[in-house]
Chain A
Amino acid sequence: MIWKTRLAKWYMQFDDDEKQKLIEEVHAVVTVRDAKHTNFVEFRNFKIIYRRYAGLYFCICVDVTDNNLAYLEAIHNFVEVLNEYFHNVCELDLVFNFYKVYTVVDEMFLAGEIRETSQTKVLKQLLMLQSLE
């Protein structure tokens, strides 16, 4: 199976080849898990919170001290925003509009933390930004 990265946002400093290696490692760890596993995996000295939606895995890598469930909710929040913004989003939407997806990410997460949690507010901002194009 070939796995492609649709979006990768880094909040810590890594070289390009380190980034590639990390992506591959995360792929390897997350894709072998199925429904009977928890949504949390220990990874190096962090942990990965992930959620699978159809053919896409959304993974967030956080410190071990962070609250797993809160980030699980954050992933779902993010996906719901994407859904609204792209009107029933599907994977191709994310592929062809990848730069827009980055904008959504930047509205909701910043500096490695959750930034805005209100879906209505985020969507309002996104529409404003779109009108500037």
Chain B
Amino acid sequence: LVEMIRVIRSARTQGEERGIIQKECADIRAQFRQGDNGERSHSLAKLLYVHMLGYPAHFGQMECVRLIASPRYSEKRIGYLGAMMLLDEKQDASLLITNSIKNDLSHSSQYVQSLALCTLACMGSAEMCRDLAPEIERLLRASNCYIKKKATLCAVHIIRKVPELAELFTPSARSLLSEKNHGVLHGAVVLITELCEHNPDTLDQFRKAVPELVQIMKGLVTSSYSPEHNVAGISDPFLQVRILRLLRILGHNNDTASDAMNDLLAQVATNTDSSKTAGSAVLYETVLTIMDINSESGLRVLAVNILGRFLLNNDRNIRYISMTSLQKIVQTDHNAVQRHRGTIVDCLKDQDTSVKRRALELSLALVSAVNIRSMMKELLIFLSTCPPELRSQTTSGIFNVAERYSPSKRWHIDTILHVLTTAGGDVRDETVPNLIQLITTASELHCYTVHKLYRALVKEISQQPLVQVACWCIGEYGDLLLKGECEEIEPVQVTEDDVLDALETVLQSHMSSPATRGFALTATMKLSTRITDNVDRIRSIVSIYGSCIDLELQQRAVEYNALFKKYDHMRAAVLERMPVMGKNSPGHTNGDTSGENKEPDPSKPKPVEAGLLSEPASQVCDLLDLLGGTDTPLQPNPAPTSTPTTTSSTDLLDLLGGLDVQLQMKAPSGNVIPAHGLGQVTQTVVLNNPNKASLPCLFLCSCLSH
């Protein structure tokens, strides 16, 4: 065997190795056929080595069966090892060894028994388990410690495979708790844990064992002398951890059990030395238990403090698991966790990504109205340096908390802008419409916003969401931009040419996506009513794009062109300021939200940009584009559209002039209008009539493309 291994290792290439292996396998096969007993076990050992390297070894399975049946210990051992490695439930050969296992379980030598137990516990199929369960149960009760240890864990495996057999083991499991041998005790606790997890009735039964378990734990914690099981000064931390876990399950949702454990848990928590990993393991399990049972609040505070101490630990592992648990309790024990906020925020700077992720989740959960400003500073710093896989999570988290707790609209807008400049590529799609909606509601900040956005646009145009929002704002509030003065920001003189230059750069840049270009073109068009000198320039831009390759742009350009030529008289009305948009209003209620948000300018006519020109099909007005882009923030209206009626060419504006109603445009049913009048897109308009004014008519119209 040794020789073979040496030869294989000396192979220098994969091909050479394969050749050697093949030769060896052929030899082994011949060996098996010969049936020479002496050499069999060595051949199988060789085969197992080959198997470990990743080569197929199915032909060895029958050999395993034969070797297991042999009376000699060494052969049995290799046979069982082979069985564990090569056989699994799906192979038929595994059934053949059931009988051998059965015999070996009653063998006189405990070592043979243990081999059989081991194999059964490792790869026993449901069939085998059912057959052999009574044997295992017998061994649980009447044998020496060595066997009992293995038998208990074997029983665990059986229960996992065949849950119905659990009742078989319940009585013996209980009596095993009185064993002194740590190994047996450990196995017993695992077995009981498994039984309880499977069956709630058993759980009730074992609750009575809580005092006993508490006793055992006390013994472990106080008696510092047990050199065999000592790990770094803690006596048998593994057993302690398991008992704590069982106590957790037993005490969950049960007051009597929890009360019985309270003292013990406090004792363990205070007395365990956590300078080494072993102690920390025990403390960690204690904390988990305290959190999960009905413990008194003093105990809970103690637990959170332990977790806080962990956070300051130098060992990264401990920091990581502490944050994992804090995550679970941050909802219920919010204040206690808040005390450790500083440390958590520091962990954002750790070098391990998983630690960073935990710190991020925790930090986001800890943001409140009180600490929003300082937390946001930290989060923004984090965003600029965080690894790429965490960026989108960070941006959405930042947006969420900003929405819930922002102290002022200006701060909110600033924050969003900052995020867009730093990580614009990783934000979610609905950020753009959300931001636009937010801007429209902050009417006093329109001037400030548009100035800021303009400056950002001029600096760089690679971040698509930012560019889109900037274009939209410039289009809407271009007049404020050109006025040049603004209270909250230093005034900079911006000429019409500058603005048009900026928009044109966006239009022409290869970095702009088609959607962005759409935004830019529409903005340019809207400016035609807000500026005075350069309308011709706009006209020429628009007509250039009339022959653009991109279908969407071309369509818009052509329509805008038509707006210039044929419908110039309506241009002003069509391109007017948009109203405050309601957010996420599913179906109705813009009437309500307009009450909450400040109406931007009561002097502006309320019915807006409907431009419902229901002209015959040859006309060109496309409602979709008049809203400034396909990304409208309005929600799709699930209500069915009523039969489209076309009126005469009067504008809806006139019809509703003077009525206190509001028009709400719903997102169109499609984004793309097929060419050549092949299809139609329905644009729904809902008329909100909060004051129940009488309406001359109510209609919905459909747009047909040219």
Contacts and interface: CB of A to CB of B under 8 A. Distances in A.
A36 B187 contact: no
B241 A67 contact: yes
Interface stretch (B232-240, B360-368, B520-528, B680-688): B232-240
A70 B236 contact: no
B487 interface: no
6 contacts: A5-B52, A40-B317, A68-B317, A99-B48, A103-B77, A133-B77
Interface residues of B, number: 63
Contact of B354 (A15, A40, A69, A133): A40
A23 B90 CA distance: 20
Contacts of A40: 317, 320-321, 354
Given A98-B52, A117-B186, A133-B74, A73 B281 contact: yes
A69 B284 contact: yes
Interface of B: 2, 5, 9, 45, 48-49, 52-54, 56, 73-74, 77-78, 81, 84, 88-90, 111, 118, 121-123, 146, 149-150, 153-154, 156-157, 160, 182-183, 186-187, 190, 228-229, 231, 236-239, 241, 245, 277-278, 280-281, 284-285, 288, 316-318, 320-321, 351-355
A42 interface: yes
Nearest to B86: A16
B284 A110 contact: no
A110 B84 CA distance: 12
Contacts of A95: 5, 9
Contact of A116 (B89, B183, B285, B317): B183
Given A110-B121, A113-B156, A128-B111, A121 B228 contact: yes
Majority secondary structure of chain B interface residues (helix, strand, loop or mixed): helix
Contact of B2 (A15, A16, A96, A110): A96
A7 B245 CA distance: 30
B153 A111 contact: yes
Majority secondary structure of chain A interface residues (helix, strand, loop or mixed): mixed
Interface of A: 4-11, 13-16, 20, 36-42, 67-70, 72-74, 77, 95-96, 98-99, 102-103, 106, 110-121, 125, 128-129, 132-133
- Ranked 7 nearest A-B pairs via Cβ: A69-B281, A111-B157, A111-B121, A110-B153, A118-B228, A111-B153, A70-B281
B150 A37 contact: no
B123 to A, nearest CB: 8
B137 to A, nearest CB: 16
Nearest to B226: A118
Given A73-B277, A99-B81, A115-B187, A67 B45 contact: no
A111 B122 contact: yes
Given A5-B54, A73-B281, 6 more contacts: A38-B317, A38-B320, A42-B354, A106-B118, A115-B153, A121-B183
